Amino acid sequence: MTYIPSADIERFVGRYSIGRDSNPLTVTGSPHFLRVKVPGGFITSEQFRRLAELADKYGRGQGEITDRQDIQLHWVRAEDSLDIFAVMDELGFTTDMCGQGFQGARYGDVRNIVCCPASGIEKDEILNGYPLVKELTKLFVGNPEFLDLPRKFKISISGCGSDCTRAVLDDLAFVGVRKAHETGFTLLVGGGAGVSLPGPRLARSIGVFVRPDEALSVAVATVKIHRDYGNRESKAKARFKWLIESWGLEKFLEVLEGKLGKSLERYDGPIFHGCTDHEGVQTQSQGGYYYVNIPLSEGRLSSHEMAQIADLAEEYGSRELRLTPTQKIMIPNVKEKDELLKRLRRIGFSFDGPKMRWKSVGCASEFCGRSLNPHAREVVNEVVEYLDKQFNPKILDEAGLRIHVSGCPNNCCATMIAEIGLDGRQIKESGEMKQTYDISLGGRLGPQTLFGRPIEEKVPAGQVKHKIEALLNNYLKRRNPHETLGEFCNRHSVEELRSYLNTLGAR
């Protein structure tokens, strides 16, 4: 390990940490992970290339894009961490402050701030949220005022009019809206997909209109409310959603305006008007340019693939890349899109097939030790590939299909907001532990966000794809004109949907 003077170590305090991968059930042999914060998912090709070098040297040549636009490395040794931090400091990156080892409600931080990956380039964008991401990141990272929150605090910012950031699951979400002739943000608060109390909750609107020049102070005041009033007696009750549930929206708004020293303007208009994850190749608001969203398999890249993508961003784009909340990567500002697509296909990235290739996500459950093989990302990849072979892509797109897979009940991948959600569960059968999945149906994002309903439990991993195939066959046979799968599921009972999962039906 390179010698680093003790005085230099101080600059890492409060800005860097590594997390624990060393659960006894973990079969990967990874002792630690390192989660690189990439604010808003915006990263230069040179930064991406340098992270590829870190992955190659310290992470067995693999990088992982998370659903909060981080880059995660596994197989990190504690004795190498200072060397890695020194490189990250040079690149301008920090990490999440992982509080796994602390039993009580403390040492939470503001996690990587998620942003619409098409900010500043999406056609018909309401406003560009990325400048606010940069302001907030600069303020919160390493700031001792905000390094001892009761639990982690998640913020998202989007201005495209669609919930591409899954704002409904964040502690605080700024969503771009129009009011008369002005553009600004409205706020959602108290969301969360995890099992911590009071259980999964959709973030709710507090009915205010926040101008861009007010947003920084509103965010700071909200995080201070979490810090000062959040529950510190119980780790299970320490997330912000518990405070919102306990107080109610009216009291929260009253306290927020008290901290701001002024009343916020009210807003009662629409919040989302679409539901896109910026899939595939799209024209930009800048004439003659495109962004190309690369559908990664399982959200993972080899260090060699990372370097190749960095090269392509320099050759065909503007030396910029963007990570997406669906574990994909985007090359913006492309003129020669057809040539770029040829090069990407040559590397092994396919742009054929349904939109669910871009929409579906899975967690890294093989590293946390809370699931058995096959793990979440393997399952989502297997199901997507199988359905792509069994059905016409146009039909799958009409169904509006999104698949979220979590390896355990902690629900890292928010299975309830997907049309098809799979939650891992281990069972004992004939003296042997086996991996199964609970199936929920009917979740959806967008203008009418809903949690899905649990339909069937403990489905053997190998049967999942066949049950989903049966469901889709019944959907095609029984659907109303122009009905999506989510709409179909939500007009049928649990008993009916269970039967559709177990009856092949006819196409």
Count CB-CB contacts under 10 A for residue 385: 14
Average pLDDT over residues 232-239: 94
d(CA 229, CA 425): 35
Length of the chain: 507
Tokens of 44: 């230069």
The single-letter code of the amino acid at 291 is Y
Count CB-CB contacts under 10 A for residue 201: 21
Average pLDDT over residues 153-175: 97
**For position 267, what pLDDT does the model report?**
98
d(CA 127, CA 208): 17
Tokens of 488: 């179909």
**CATH number for region 357-502:** 3.30.413.10
**β-pair partners for 459:** 437
Mind listing the pLDDT tens digit for each residue in 177-216?
999 999 999 999 999 999 899 999 999 999 999 999 999 9
Confidence grade of residue 371 (pLDDT, cut at 50, 70, 90): confident
Confidence grade of residue 368 (pLDDT, cut at 50, 70, 90): confident
Average pLDDT over residues 454-459: 97
**For position 332, what pLDDT does the model report?**
98
The single-letter code of the amino acid at 213 is D
Question: Which sign, positive or negative, has the C-alpha torsion 380, 384, 385, 386?
Answer: positive
Confidence grade of residue 372 (pLDDT, cut at 50, 70, 90): confident
- Please report which helix (H) or strand (E) contains residue 262, including its range: none
Residues 6+ apart with CB under 8 A from 466: none
Tokens of 359: 């929409």
More confident residue, 166 or 9: 166
Please report which residue ranges of 348-454 form alpha helices under DSSP H. 356-359, 365-368, 376-390, 393-399
Is the CB of residue 345 less than 8 Å from the CB of residue 322?
no
With vertex at residue 54, the alpha carbon angle to CA 53 and CA 58, rounded to the nearest 5 degrees, is: 125
With vertex at residue 17, the alpha carbon angle to CA 319 and CA 149, rounded to the nearest 5 degrees, is: 105
d(CA 232, CA 188): 23
Confidence grade of residue 321 (pLDDT, cut at 50, 70, 90): very high
Query: What fold, for 123-266?
Result: Sulfite Reductase Hemoprotein; domain 1 (3.30.413)
**For position 437, what pLDDT does the model report?**
96
* Domain boundaries, given as residue ranges, for the chain: 6-95, 123-266, 283-349, 357-502
Average pLDDT over residues 395-400: 96
Please determine, for residue 6, whether its predicted confidence score (pLDDT) is greater than 70.
Answer: no
**β-pair partners for 429:** 432
d(CA 62, CA 58): 9
**β-pair partners for 361:** 404
**For position 7, what pLDDT does the model report?**
63
More confident residue, 504 or 326: 326
Q: What is the DSSP string of 448-496?
A: T-B--EEEEEEEEGGGHHHHHHHHHHHHHHHPPTT--HHHHHHTS-HHH
Please give the backbone phi and psi of residue 300, each rounded to the nearest 5 degrees, phi first.
-120, 150
Average pLDDT over residues 328-355: 97
With vertex at residue 226, the alpha carbon angle to CA 221 and CA 229, rounded to the nearest 5 degrees, is: 110
Residue 201: name the closest of 239, 163, 149 by CA: 239
Mind listing the pLDDT tens digit for each residue in 106-146?
889 999 999 999 999 999 999 999 999 999 999 999 999 99
**For position 97, what pLDDT does the model report?**
85
**For position 11, what pLDDT does the model report?**
76
Same fold, 123-266 and 357-502: yes
Please report which residue ranges of 193-269 form alpha helices under DSSP H. 215-229, 240-247, 249-260
Q: Which CATH number fits domain 6-95: 3.90.1170.40, 3.30.70.3340, 3.40.50.10890, 3.30.460.20?
A: 3.30.70.3340
Query: What fold, for 283-349?
Result: Alpha-Beta Plaits (3.30.70)
Residue 391: name the closest of 302, 470, 307 by CA: 470
**What are the counts of helices (DSSP H) followed by strands (DSSP E) for the chain?**
16, 23
Please determine, for residue 507, whether its predicted confidence score (pLDDT) is greater than 60.
Answer: no
d(CA 150, CA 227): 6
**For position 297, what pLDDT does the model report?**
86
- Please report which helix (H) or strand (E) contains residue 340, including its range: helix 337-347
d(CA 113, CA 177): 19
**For position 306, what pLDDT does the model report?**
98
3 state SS of 290: strand
With vertex at residue 363, the alpha carbon angle to CA 33 and CA 395, rounded to the nearest 5 degrees, is: 150
Mean pLDDT across the chain: 94
Is the CB of residue 275 less than 8 Å from the CB of residue 447?
yes
The single-letter code of the amino acid at 375 is H
